[in-house]
Structure 1
Amino acid sequence: MITVRTATSADVEQMAELLKELFAIEADFVFDRDKQVSGLKQLLESGKDRVFVAESGGRAVGMCSVLTLISTAEGGPVGLLEDLIVTAEFRRQGIGEKLLAAAIDWAEEQGLKRLQLLADKNNLPALKFYEKQAWRQTQLICLRKC
């Protein structure tokens, strides 16, 4: 049985392993356990962001996070969905949809006016998943300064 719940500090190591799997398919990121553990801990302690974990038999098999920002375009808080990953052996079982639904429900409860996400343009399975979930591409592109 799969349960989706809010992540806790006890989940950090398992979530770091999930990020390792995610970053292996995302061209823009390189896994660095120390950085990912630090980022996860900061998210969990922020008080304004949320991380969800999908669990099976005491094991984290999926996760996603919602970071909150203030948008001048929306005139208030919005959310950035990040790190949606389901470990390979548990894919195609509806876990991604459950994680996404939990994130959307939480965002609505918080009064977030919009959710957005970034996806690797070469990750066709992810792009098809988001399209199936009624997420649409915008006219914006992502730019980054390192």
Structure 2
Amino acid sequence: MIDNLIIRECDAKDKTAFVKLNLDFMQEVMAENPYWTSLKIPSEEEMGSVFKEALSMPEHILIFVAEVDGKVVGYVNTWTVYSIWSGGKALTIDDLYIAAPYRRCGIGEKMMEYLIGYAEQNAYRRVQLHAEIDNGGAHNLYRKLGFTEEEILFFMKRINL
């Protein structure tokens, strides 16, 4: 466990760290999961533009970072939807990534606990996410935190612009 961990909302000063972490994450995922290989890894400049656009839409996208000794070592990217069935907002966790040297130190769990608390304090009706089928460590963490597994398939169609 890391004692000097701060979890906070991401802001513009985190751009360089976020871009690096996100590009690292994309490279790891694409190496392990062939269905993502049709995606083009963006340049740092392109990812920086995406970051700026994401920060400009806080009603839809929230990004939180994990900081250790002043260094951003992880992030969680979320988006908000209105759930008809839940009768309110749902917080969807899109990406949760911790830099390799900081994994298995409890940071992911602390980030998830932070998000659950954030959702409770901000009138979200549920928190939802998807996880790779072979990511047993993540599955165990989510179950430990009270998430239930649903038998749902995730479908995706890429749109080429």
TM interval, short-chain normalised: 0.7 to 0.9
Tell me by how many angstroms 1:34 deviates: 4.4
Q: Within the alignment, does 1:94 sit opposite 2:110 as a pair?
A: no
Looking at structure 2, the residues matched to 51 and 86 of structure 1 have their Cα atoms a distance apart, in angstroms, of 13
RMSD: 1.9
Structure 1 partner of 2:121: 109
Structure 2 partner of 1:25: 28
Identity among equivalent positions (%) equals 27
For residue 148 of structure 2, give the secondary structure of its aligned residue in structure 1.
coil
Tell me by how many angstroms 1:23 deviates: 2.0
Q: Within the alignment, does 1:77 sit opposite 2:89 as a pair?
A: yes
Gaps of 5+ in 1: none
* Change in 2 beyond 3 A, CA 1:34/1:124: farther
Tell me by how many angstroms 1:20 deviates: 2.1
**Aligned equivalent of 1:118, options 130, 144, 161:** 130
Structure 2 partner of 1:36: 47
Preserved CA contact (<8 Å) 1:53 1:62: yes
Tell me by how many angstroms 1:112 deviates: 1.1
Preserved CA contact (<8 Å) 1:86 1:95: yes
Q: TM-score, normalised by structure 1?
A: 0.87
**Partner amino acid for 2:100?**
A
Tell me by how many angstroms 1:60 deviates: 0.7
Aligned residue pair count: 146
